[in-house]
Amino acid sequence: MGTITARKRKDGSTGYRAQVRVTRDGKSHSETETFDRKALAQQWMRMKEAEIDRRRIHPRLQIPGHPEFAFPRLAARGD
């Protein structure tokens, strides 16, 4: 679901681009972020993949205006 690509910058340093792409029901969603360290890129990618999986399990999280959309942790605790 996600990929990390090493990219050379103009100053010669290496940046790591993390990309997560999901296609459901003919609609595609992609998020990309660039990091200085590969470990940070991997961590971000895992976090985004987990977020997408939570939304797949709980489709109400995808509805703007629903209490769980804005505050999923509070809604899960019942606060």
**What pLDDT digit, counting tens, does each position of 3-26 carry?**
999 999 999 999 999 999 887 777
Q: What is the pTM of this model?
A: 0.64
Which residues sit opposite 59 in a β-bridge? none
Q: Tens of pLDDT along 26-68?
A: 777 788 999 999 999 999 999 988 887 777 655 555 555 555 5
12 vs 69, higher pLDDT: 12
Integer angstrom CA distances of residue 28 from 23, 38, 46, 51: 4, 25, 19, 16
